[in-house]
Amino acid sequence: MATIPAPVAELLERALVAELTVVDAAGRPVTYPLIPLYDGEHVYMTSSTLFSRKLEHIDANPRVSVSITDPVAVDGRLDRATIQGDARVIAEDPHGGWERLLPIWEAKEPSIVLFLKARVALPLFFERALIEITPRRVLYWADGQAQTAPAVTVIGEEAA
Amino acid sequence: MRSTPELDARAGLTKLAGYPYQIATWVDDTGYPVSVAVEAVVDPTTGTATFAAPVGLVVPDDRDVSLTGTHIRPQPGYGYDERRHVTVWGRAAVGEHAVTLTGRSAWGWDEAEVPFFEYSERSLPQSRKYFDALSAERGTPVKPRLSFGFLTLRTTRLPFLTATIVPVVLGILIAASHGSFDLVAAALTIIGASFVQLGLNVANDVFDTVQGADDANVTPTQFSGGSRVIQYGLVTLRQMATLATVFYVLAGVIGLVLLATHGSPALLVIGVVGFIVSLGYTAPPLKFVYRGLGEIAVALGFGPLMLLGAYVVQTGGALAWEPFVASIPVALLVALILYVNEIPDRRGDARVGKRTLPVRFSQTAVITGYRVVAAAAFVAVVVGVVAGILPVPTLLMLLTIPLALQVSRGLEPNYDNPYGLMAVMGTNVQLHLRAGLLLLAGYVVVLILGAVAPGLDLFVG
């Protein structure tokens, strides 16, 4: 059974930022740059309640994509990927439920723990929901160029 | 409505042209979004962006396609900065080799244009909407939270109690230098006066919320714009009103105890006037701060009233010129805290008719006003000493002149930058605190020398 290809997993682990695209009520793609947090199975992102419009879109339509395109955000790597998947909003505990991902987050943004200690300064920023994305299909451009057809991997099936 | 303004397509395309590549995105036939990095030729004048047709993917021409530009600058070992992104939506004309998107609408954020804190404040309605929806879904109220310690700190604005402690302790020390000191009364005075300020701080949030000033302010800082606990949904308006009442009642009880044990007509007058000034600061019908009288109210309350109040408690009602003159620099410097803190609030304040001095006057006038009043604070001490009213050691306060100059120099370049002004506001708070502490130190010197060298005259003339 195919899983996320190794180079794409490496991109996810390394990327400081990725682009989450959700679909709004009009069927239009809406893209948000967010930090991708990968635990080897799911891609996670977190959203402050301040910027929770994306969560409304996901609740209405769970089909999303996560793209990694910026070489600057992946230490200069030129390969690129887009992961299509199904998203689920986890909002049981906006105050602290998301903190289970803090170790992965801290690895990418060390200062986040300092900000969290001073959450009194911006309390609503740390009221957050988790977005859990189950990958379904991966498009991978080894050279990062749109003039090359992407390698397509359907998760749960043999690689195409 | 978004928390940042929608862009028109041309403005969005202009921004998009500044990115080294773009991300073309559409919803594919399976219903999932798909994105591919492209290098588009963006022409804002024609409202189009053209890029080579990606190989192996079919760009649709029957639904919206977007082009997104994003930028971030990694800061290894810390995080990142320079965040910005923009998305332009439109329909695509798809040729054999090229795709041309005609922009129709756009949206984006650039933290260089809208700082993150302002962006967050503008997004408060979205957070309220989120918690309302979550509460409706669960059938029970779901609210944002803070730990009790943080919430207390934020709600009461506890660190600003120095504005009370400085004049009250100064009044007590001056009375002690005149031979009057009662430790219990001194402690009760400090506690009671602190409750008055805490009541004022909380009541200020209540009345500013009721009158719309705190909601209209999208650039609050740690020194300005109120505690924001009501706006953030951490505490309700009713809870805040109750808390303010509790603080005022506690202050009143202590005031009555002091009246009963150390009462005098002077203390009664100071207590009544102090209560009116404190509550009337933002409360209708007086609303001093809404009428451009906030600085005078604050100067009066945290200057002569606090200082003379503490003094007459110790002396049993005897008044003197010395505590009054000593209160002048404290009053002027505390008024300048409010004055500078009103600068970043002035646009929001103007929207709700809160006619503070920075709302009424030009930048030049406001900065000149600061310089004149700050200079007056130091001149008052010198004149007080030369006139033989204040003891010579109070001249220690002049050591804070460099801080005043630092604030004065920082106002002009940061006048329109609330977050740049934060450091200036911080220095201004320090100016009041340190000047106050040096005045206190002056009186400590007076008391020590009075004990070790009783005949030594520390007054000029």
Read off the pLDDT of residues B72-98 as tens digits, 9 standing for 90 and up: 999 888 888 899 999 999 999 999 899
Least CB-CB distance to B120: which of A19, A52, A122? A122
Q: Which three-class secondary structure state does DSSP give residue A125? A: helix
Note if the bond before B285 is cis, omega within 30 degrees. yes
Is B221 an 8 Å CB contact of chain A? no
Tokens of B156: 């009461």
Q: Are residues B51 and B105 in the same domain?
A: yes
CB B374 within 8 A of CB B336: yes
Read off the pLDDT of residues B4-23 as tens digits, 9 standing for 90 and up: 667 899 999 999 999 999 99
* Rounded percentage of chain B residues whose pLDDT exceeds 70: 99
What pLDDT score was predicted for residue B265?
A: 96
What does the alpha-carbon distance between residue B115 and residue B92 come to, in Å, rounded to a whole number? 33
Band (pLDDT 50/70/90 cuts) for residue B419 is confident
The mean pLDDT of chain A is 94
Q: Residue B2 domain-assigned? A: no
Q: In the predicted model, what is the mean pLDDT of residues B91-114?
A: 95
Q: In the predicted model, what is the mean pLDDT of residues A58-84?
A: 96
CB B36 within 8 A of CB A152: no
| Interface contacts A/B by beta carbons within 8 Å | 178
Q: Are residues B95 and B202 in the same domain?
A: no
Least CB-CB distance to B55: which of A19, A53, A147? A147
Q: Are residues B91 and B129 in the same domain?
A: no
Q: In the predicted model, what is the mean pLDDT of residues B60-83?
A: 93
Band (pLDDT 50/70/90 cuts) for residue A12 is very high
Other beta carbons within 10 angstroms of residue B52's beta carbon come to 15
Q: In the predicted model, what is the mean pLDDT of residues B199-219?
A: 93
CA distance B63 to chain A (A): 8
What does the alpha-carbon distance between residue A111 and residue A114 come to, in Å, rounded to a whole number? 5
Q: Are residues B49 and B26 in the same domain?
A: yes
Is B379 an 8 Å CB contact of chain A? no
* Rounded percentage of chain A residues whose pLDDT exceeds 70: 96
Q: Residue B198 domain-assigned? A: yes
By CB neighbour count within 10 A (0-12 exposed, 13-18 middle, 19+ buried), where does B404 fall? buried
Nearest in space to B50 (alpha carbons), one of B9, B22, B78: B22
Reply yes or no on whether the pLDDT at B55 is more than 70: yes
Q: Are residues B184 and B211 in the same domain?
A: yes
Interface test with B, best of A35, A50, A115 (most B CBs within 10 A): A50
Q: In the predicted model, what is the mean pLDDT of residues A5-33?
A: 97
Least CB-CB distance to A51: which of B63, B72, B126? B126
Read off the pLDDT of residues B367-417 as tens digits, 9 standing for 90 and up: 999 999 999 999 999 999 999 999 999 999 999 999 999 999 999 999 998
What does the alpha-carbon distance between residue B170 and residue B330 come to, in Å, rounded to a whole number? 10
Q: Are residues B192 and B332 in the same domain?
A: yes
Q: Residue B458 domain-assigned? A: no
Tokens of B116: 């993150």
Residues 6+ apart with CB under 8 A from B299: B331, B332, B334, B335
Can you state the percent helix, strand and coil of chain A, rounding each to 5?
Answer: 30, 35, 35
Which residues of B are less than 8 Å from A84 in CB distance? Answer: 30, 32-34
Hey, what CATH class is A6-154 in? Answer: mainly beta
Q: Residue B457 domain-assigned? A: no
The model carries a pTM of 0.87
Tokens of A85: 């998947």
The mean pLDDT of chain B is 95
In the block, tokens 């200069």 appear at: A76
Nearest in space to A74 (alpha carbons), one of A147, A135, A21, A7: A7
Q: Are residues B108 and B120 in the same domain?
A: no
Q: Residue B183 domain-assigned? A: yes
| Domain of B395, in residue numbers | 148-452
Helices (H), chain A: 6-14, 53-60, 102-108, 112-117
Q: In the predicted model, what is the mean pLDDT of residues B254-275?
A: 96
Nearest in space to B355 (alpha carbons), one of B401, B411, B414, B294: B294
SS3 per residue for chain B = CCCCCCEEHHHHHHHHCCCCCEEEEEECCCCCEEEEEECCEEECCCCEEEEECCCCCCCCCCCCEEEEEEEEEEECCCEEEEEEEEEEEEEEEECCCEEEEEEEEEEEEECCCCCHHHHHHHCHHHHHHHHHHHHHHHCCCCCCCCCHHHHHHHHHCHHHHHHHHHHHHHHHHHHHHCCCCCHHHHHHHHHHHHHHHHHHHHHHHHHHHHCCHHHHCCCCCCCCCCCCCCCCCCCCHHHHHHHHHHHHHHHHHHHHHHHHHHCCHHHHHHHHHHHHHHHHCCCCCCCHHHHCCHHHHHHHHHHHHHHHHHHHHHHCCCCCHHHHHHHHHHHHHHHHHHHHHHHHHHHHHHHCCCCCHHHHCCHHHHHHHHHHHHHHHHHHHHHHHHCCCCCHHHHHHHHHHHHHHHHHHHHHHHCCCCCCHHHHHHHHHHHHHHHHHHHHHHHHHHHHHHHHCCCCCCCCC
Read off the pLDDT of residues B218-246 as tens digits, 9 standing for 90 and up: 888 888 888 999 999 999 999 999 999 99
Q: Are residues B124 and B228 in the same domain?
A: no
Band (pLDDT 50/70/90 cuts) for residue A16 is very high
Nearest in space to A115 (alpha carbons), one of B55, B223, B25, B120: B120
Q: In terms of pLDDT, which residue wins out, B214 or A11?
A: A11
Band (pLDDT 50/70/90 cuts) for residue A121 is confident
Interface test with A, best of B25, B26, B32 (most A CBs within 10 A): B32
Q: Residue B461 domain-assigned? A: no
What pLDDT score was predicted for residue A160?
A: 43
Least CB-CB distance to A64: which of B33, B123, B142? B33
Q: Are residues B80 and B180 in the same domain?
A: no
Reply yes or no on whether the pLDDT at A159 is more than 80: no
Q: Rg for chain A (alpha carbons), in Å?
A: 16
The total domain count for chain B is: 3
Residue B89 maps to which CATH number?
A: 2.30.110.10
Which residues of B are less than 8 Å from A119 in CB distance? Answer: 146, 150
Q: Are residues B97 and B78 in the same domain?
A: yes
Q: Residue B460 domain-assigned? A: no
Q: Residue B72 domain-assigned? A: yes
Read off the pLDDT of residues A75-115 as tens digits, 9 standing for 90 and up: 999 999 999 999 999 999 999 999 999 999 999 999 899 88
Q: In the predicted model, what is the mean pLDDT of residues B301-326?
A: 97
By CB neighbour count within 10 A (0-12 exposed, 13-18 middle, 19+ buried), where does A115 fall? middle
Reply yes or no on whether the pLDDT at B174 is more than 60: yes
Q: What's the CA dihedral at B234, B239, B244, B250 to 10 degrees?
A: -120
User: Is B55's CB within 8 Å of A122's CB?
Assistant: no
What pLDDT score was predicted for residue A2?
A: 61
CB B66 within 8 A of CB B26: yes
Band (pLDDT 50/70/90 cuts) for residue B1 is very low
